[in-house]
Amino acid sequence: MQEEEEQVEEDLNDTSDVTEVHLVEDWPKRFQQASYSQEQQRVITLAISKRDEWLRINKMTDWTNQETSEITVDYRISERGTNTMRASRVLPYKVMDVFRTLNAGYLRQQFDVNISKTQTLQRICCNCTLIYQASKKIMIVSPRDFVLINFVTKVSSSNHLYSTLMVTF
């Protein structure tokens, strides 16, 4: 059973056949050409909406900087009254390596020390995965379980990738 689960995880995380990430300018056309199911279309449409909301919020000027040594972190209160955080750092890696890492759920524990367990549950499409993630107990905050939709996409012709993580229930 353990070997079978590991093989499923490996298959879901295999993005070795992905050689380039393209900008999708017409998602309805992409849905039709790639024969996306209604559920795939629903999830991707939701992810695009969240990504676009984030790009709008990201342009706002009322962010408060929280100084750190290795990463730029800013925060603000969202329109819904929740804490919003953005973090950025220039990484010395190829864009494809970053893409593969963001899509491989099992690697998340290696770059996020606050994660106790992670597992890719389903690949929605080539750049969207459903990931189970459990956080560690941090100080007085109990561990939490999350199911995340991870949508990695380009938003312009540059080599910038955006990873939109949405918590689902």
Range from 42-51, 108-117, 131-140, 156-165 carrying the lowest mean pLDDT: 156-165
H helix or E strand, kind and range, residue 133: strand 128-135
Residue 56 is encoded by which pair of tokens?
A: 């709008």
Task: Return the DSSP state at 45.
Answer: H
Closest CA relative to residue 96, chosen from 154, 44, 42: 154
**Amino acid code (one letter) for 68:** T
97 vs 15: CA distance, rounded Å: 10
Tens digits of per-residue pLDDT, 45-99?
988 888 888 888 888 999 999 877 778 889 898 888 888 888 877 778 877 777 7
144 pLDDT exceeds 80?
yes
Give the pLDDT confidence of 13-25 residue by residue, as tens digits: 555 555 566 778 7
State the pLDDT at residue 29: 92
How far from the centroid of its chain's Cα atoms is residue 23's Cα? Answer: 16
